[in-house]
Structure 1
Amino acid sequence: MQTVSFLFFNIILPIFIPIIAGYLLQRKFPLNVATLTKIQFYIFIPALLFTTIYQTELNSALLRDLILANLVLFVLLWAVCLICARLMKLDAGKRSAFINSVCFYNSGNYCIPLIQLMYHTPFAFSIQIIVMLIQQLLTNTVGVMNTSSANRSWKGALLENFRMPMTYAVLIALLCRWLSIDVPKPLWTSFELMAQGLVPTALITLGAQLASTHLYLRNFRVLVSNAMRLLVGPLLAAAVCWMWGISGVVAQVMVICAAAPSAVNTVLLAIEYRSDPEFASQTVFLSTLLSALTMPVVIALVQYL
């Protein structure tokens, strides 16, 4: 088994150096984070999704089990959060922010480079992509409705997923595979070049986003949320994999993703619907920092799955 220190210096540290660079750059020269996010959202991520899925063969049984296992994990996390929220006697706004901070994790610009550094196969990355798409779907539906059921309908939240270029990148890649369509070499080369730009841009953007958040360690709810996200999350994921009979790389990727820090999107939801945005910002910031300590341990342990 690889040691925790080895994993920290060879996997976690290479991820956090660009994050720190983005943080410092934002402090010195304010960046347009919205533009950086759009470049990733509309160019880099779709290109990476297309090239990865096009090269990977996933059987329907595995895909079904992975989707169901992630949905079960989400329900379990939600249930545990409800119990904690009641014990802490949180009001509706604080409860929704607390639940979102635990149930929605950074499976995008944190897990993408992490999985790429750990595994050098399209198969492992395809598993991570499926987890990311499930999280995106849940965020745009359950997350939105949890934050403010009065401001958006289920129909509107669902339609939001069909406005995402990621959805079409996946569908087109699957269609090309099923129909055995060969992608022209110039087009494929351009997709690969664009895909290579995602990892550094995503990490620098994450650092820039964190630079706008101030860290306070006196909020008990933030500490509970971080413990739930970074410790309870991967434990429940491992339990679900065991119950579902999922093992190997699939289980490892699922547990690693479940150990990721809170998603930046939870802050955007909290700001848009005025649902305790300060708490949401704190959970994202602190969970990202603490993940530098917890993630190497999780990675070391998942090798037994």
Structure 2
Amino acid sequence: MDIFIHILVNNVIPLSVMIAIGVAMERIFSLNIKTLSKLNFYVFSPAVMFHLLYTTPISAGLIGTVLLFVAIYLLLLAALAEIAVRARGLKGGMRGAMRNSVMFYNSANYGIPINQLAFAGNPYTLSVQIIVMMTQSLLPNTLGIYSVNAHKSNWRAIGRTILSQPVIYVIPIAFLLRGFQVPIPGAIETPIQYLADAFIGTALLTLGVQLGSMSWRISRAQLSNVMISCTLRLVAGPALAALIVWGLGAFVELDWQTASALIVASAVPSSLSSVLLAVEFDNEPEFSSQAVFASTLLSIVTVALVIYFVQI
């Protein structure tokens, strides 16, 4: 119990405080969530992704192992989400909103700080989290955009929207510059560093602003869907990750640090990206906001439990 309380106080509550500040700012000043979402999508997220990929030493072997895990994990998670969608008889945009709330998780503004806190700033586990974050940065900007628009837009319009997302260009550029050891001029490196440093705080505040702008009372019509989403994300998510890690251990070399980092990375709540997509493309914003709110609130306990179990 002492370990659990330590994790709760030192790992999870600091993030909750930042989110609470965002909630308070929204309640007092009524901030513009679309402006904040665009800053996160087009400025802070690409900057931190470039900075982390360019500056963090990540071996090809680790990249391969993590990508193999992520591919298996997302396929199985998508299958679970599809079962839920069909069992509930969801239609139209609600189908994509449910899938997004389960498959897109907060690996950046929640996952990176929780990784740093849970593993005491270990650069190796941070590398694992960065690779997971890379995949979770790509998916909402590609599959996520398709998912919320497929029922109402054509392929050409969806393609143009996807190609306008900077993160899909930042990732290969960062890998190429690092691979060929191309130095970044100080006049460019310094602004990137400033933006990357601002990412976590800004993203947590943005999540708080979004939560503060919505009704905290989950409508009766959406309660079952929200609870299904939270169960799949916070309970089935880490449980599935643990099973995959156990299975992969028979085929690839998987040390405790990598395995633990993958499980913790899979335990975080639904991503703000699902809300930003819902707001940006007017696709079930009420459900998406409520799913993020409920999963973020419940994660205060569930994430602490997951960290507790991997550490013992």
- CA gap of 1:192–1:236, structure 2 versus 1, over 3 A, is same
Return 130-139 or 142-151, whichever deviates more.
Answer: 142-151
Write the distance in 2 (CA, Å) between the matches of 1:195 and 1:274. Answer: 29
1:141 matched to 2:142? The reply is yes
Residue of structure 2 equivalent to 1:22: 22
* Farther-moved stretch of structure 1 (257-266 vs 183-192): 183-192
Q: Alpha-carbon deviation of 1:27?
A: 0.4
Task: Give the 3-state SS of the residue equivalent to 1:3 in structure 2.
Answer: helix
- C-alpha separation between the residues in 1 aligned to 2:66 and 2:160? 23
**1:214 counterpart SS class:** coil
Cα distance between partner residues in 2 of 1:159 and 1:171: 19
Structure 1 residues 146-169: Cα deviation after superposition (integer angstroms, max 9, x where no partner): 333244455665665553333443
Alignment correspondent of 1:281: 289
- Per the alignment, in what secondary structure is the counterpart of residue 181 of structure 1? coil
Alignment map for 1:45-84 (pairs within 5 Å): 45-84=45-84
Quote how far apart the aligned CAs of 1:303 are: 2.8
CA 67–162 in structure 1, closer or farther in 2 if over 3 Å, else same = farther
Match of 2:164 in 1: 163
TM-score, reference length from structure 2: 0.85
Q: Structure 1 counterpart of 2:296, which letter? A: T
**Which residue of 2 is the match for residue 230 of structure 1?**
234
Closer, same or farther: CA 59–293 of 1 in aligned 2, 3 Å: same
* Deviation sequence 1:208-237 (CA, Å, 0-9, x none): 011112123541221121111111011111
Aligned residues: 304
Moved more, 181-190 or 218-227: 181-190
* CA distance, structure 2, for counterparts of residue 154 and residue 128 of structure 1: 32
* Bigger mean CA offset, 65-74 vs 183-192: 183-192
The answer (yes or no) to whether the contact 2:96–2:147 under 8 Å persists in 1 is: yes
| Superposed displacement of residue 66, structure 1 | 1.4
Q: Check conservation: 2:210, 2:289, Cα contact below 8 A.
A: no
Deviates most, 238-247 or 181-190: 181-190
The letter of the residue matching 2:37 is T
CA contact (8 A) 1:264 1:284 kept: yes
- C-alpha contact (below 8 Å) 2:107/2:265 kept by paired residues: yes
C-alpha contact 1:229 1:259 (8 A) present in aligned 2:
yes
Q: Which runs of 5+ in 2 are unaligned?
A: none
Output the TM-score relative to the length of structure 1.
0.87
Distance 1:94 1:113, change over 3 A: same
The offset of 1:271, in angstroms, is 4.6
The aligned amino acid for 1:143 is G
Counterparts of 1:266 and 1:47, CA distance in 2: 20
Contact 1:33-1:208 within 8 A present in 2 as well: yes
Report the CA distance between 1:194 and its aligned residue.
3.0
**1:69-112 per-position Cα deviation (integer Å, ceiling 9, x unaligned):** 21211111111122233333333443332222111112222223
1:289 Cα offset (Å):
0.7
For 2:131 and 2:154, locate their aligned partners in 1 and report how far apart those are by CA, in whole Å. Answer: 25
20-29 vs 79-88, greater mean Cα deviation: 79-88
Q: Quote the Cα distance in structure 2 between the aligned partners of 1:175 and 1:261.
A: 32
What is the match of residue 301 of structure 1? Answer: 309
Equivalent position of 1:9 in the other structure = 9
User: Aligned partners of 1:69, 1:214: CA distance in 2, in Å?
Assistant: 37
**Counterpart Cα distance in 2 of 1:90 and 1:59:** 42
* Structure 1, unaligned runs of 5 or more: none
CA distance in 1, matches of 2:273, 2:308: 28
Distance 1:44 1:99, change over 3 A: closer
Aligned to 2:124: 123
